[in-house]
Amino acid sequence: MRQQIAIDARGEPAKSRAMATRTKTRPQNRRGEKTRAALLDAAESLFAETGFHAVTVREIARKAGADPALVTYYFGGKRELFDEVLLRRATELNAIRLKELEELEANAGPDGPTVEEIINAFTHPLLDRTANGGPGWKSYFALIGQITNTPEWGAAVMNKYFDPIVIRFLEALRPKIPDCTEEDLFWSYHFLSGVLVLTFAQTGRIDVLSKGLCKSSDIASVHERMPGFIAAGILYLQERSRAQKNGGATKA
């Protein structure tokens, strides 16, 4: 059971079950929702900046302007808060990605969508929110980039929150690349995931390497190039598979 704590000067949370049933608690409930959201925002930002282990509950509460006991009250603990941070935006993001894919499939005509269009439907919602979603989305994707590259979190967290939508997109791709092996299909997703994680990190590496010609913060340029680049790689692997089956050479 989660710890029951007394109401503070700001009116949250309720002192008792009886008090919670009164109509006068509605403003308190709204304050509670705001406090819960503030804790999620603060945790998201701090986890993205310094990682899960380096952040304390007290630091999260201080940034949110809340009592540290409220983390226990609303979430149960730091790990549960971490899970809720990931779930909050993952739920919204996956719904948007699925909607884009379904709309693409419904409007694509008798030949269906192209490989590049399917990749675009998968990546567009992420890149759009990275560029235009505000600091919360930037922190979220930075956090995703961290945990994807960390053995402690990568498989368990990504499997839990993103595997179903990834499998749905791979199923959409299969009819378009019938001669691509299952092995090549999963490696193709692995490469796509790596590109996305590096994009989210915005390390500035390409800025230095290109002497300012390219900028890691230029998400529009990433979006312009990524779907076609990944699609070409997938189609290349399919051609290689065909050539190997036929004993021929892969087209350059």
Residue 183 Cα distances to 43, 70, 123, 241, 248, angstroms: 38, 47, 21, 11, 20
Q: What is the set of domains in the chain, with CATH numbers?
A: 17-75 (1.10.10.60), 86-246 (1.10.357.10)
Are 5 and 73 within 8 A, CB to CB? Answer: yes
pLDDT for res 11: 38
pLDDT for res 147: 79
Q: For each successive 10 residues of the chain (252 residues), what is the average pLDDT?
A: 42 42 51 91 93 92 95 92 90 93 93 95 92 90 80 68 91 95 95 89 92 94 95 96 80 54
* Span between the terminal Cα atoms of the chain, in Å: 62
